[in-house]
Amino acid sequence: MLAKQVVLKVDNLKKYFPLEKGVFRRTAGYIRAVDGISFEIRRGEVFALVGESGCGKTTTAKLVMRLLQPTEGKIFSNGKDISLLKRRELARRVQIVFQDPFASLNPRLSVGTIVGEAVKHRIAAAGEKPNGRRIREETGELLHQVGLPANILNDYPHQFSGGQRQRIGIARALAMQPELIIADEPVSSLDISVQAQILNLLLDLRDSLSLSYFLIAHDLNVVRFLSDRVAVMYQGKIVEMDSVDKIYTSPVHPYTKKLLEAIPVPQPELLE
């Protein structure tokens, strides 16, 4: 069987932040936020990066989005060094779904404008001339794809629930037709009753569009439900990486074992 296409490759990635001291702000050392990590994500795969707060997960996501410049190492999108890509080209390849859907949506813009602007940019990036009718039609199709009615185009983010706003954020990401979506704690701010709906939506979109996900998460139950492979990050390094089943049933590194031991276990007797 042929191996699936690698949509993202991270090679010996490092990001050090200088520690400055004194009146003259001399560099006294470095915070090694990301310290020589490497991994690949293949088409149709959900790859999760897990670890405690401050371990370097979010910094890694920012490096992939080119919001930060690496100290060392390379990141490749479908074989191309992302540092050589124009911003618009990178946006067509990689999109992000944020943790807080309300904060990530401009409250002054309607849903049609929020999603439609992304559609417009994608059409223009392909060298075509966007027109209003096509943008509205494609925006409506995207909303339908994430389980929302097309008649909400003129509504604003504050008129929706958290789960609906996250669906709008997903539609905006899909508008660029990316190969990879970074899902940064995509359900952590949502009610438990809504979390499963969003997770199932992400899986359905993965299957129907051959999407790949780079999942940043601390909720190990979410990671187990959504992921194919897991990398465990500790103090800027990946200390263990394997299939989700092996990580959860046969962890090797002591830190991985501690993370798994910390997963809350339901105690029905407390509900009696």
Residue 29: pLDDT band with limits 50, 70, 90: confident
> Phi and psi of 3, rounded to 5°?
-70, 145
Encode burial over 232-264: b for 16+ CB neighbours within 10 A, e otherwise: bbbebebbbbbebeebbeebeeebbeebeeeee
Does the pLDDT of residue 2 top 70, yes or no? no
Mean predicted confidence (pLDDT) in 24-51: 92
Does the pLDDT of residue 163 top 80, yes or no? yes
Does the pLDDT of residue 120 top 70, yes or no? yes
DSSP tag of 151? G
Q: What angle do CA 164, 170, 171 make, to 5 degrees?
A: 90
Nearest to 153 by CA among 112, 116, 120, 108: 112
pLDDT at 60: 97
Q: Rounded to two decimals, what is the model's pTM?
A: 0.91
Residue 270: pLDDT band with limits 50, 70, 90: very low
Q: Which of the pair, 263 or 145, is modelled with greater confidence? A: 145
Q: Chain-wide mean pLDDT for the chain?
A: 92
Question: Of 106-110, 123-127, 130-134, 203-207, where does mean pLDDT reach its minimum?
Answer: 123-127
Does the pLDDT of residue 191 top 60, yes or no? yes
Mean predicted confidence (pLDDT) in 111-136: 91
> Is there a contact between 6 and 42 (Cβ–Cβ < 8 Å)?
yes
> Phi and psi of 43, rounded to 5°?
-60, 130
Each residue of 59-70: pLDDT tens digit?
999 999 999 999
Domains parsed from the chain with CATH numbers: 6-264 (3.40.50.300)
Q: Which of the pair, 159 or 24, is modelled with greater confidence? A: 159
Mean predicted confidence (pLDDT) in 7-14: 98
Mean predicted confidence (pLDDT) in 181-210: 93
pLDDT at 271: 43
pLDDT at 66: 95
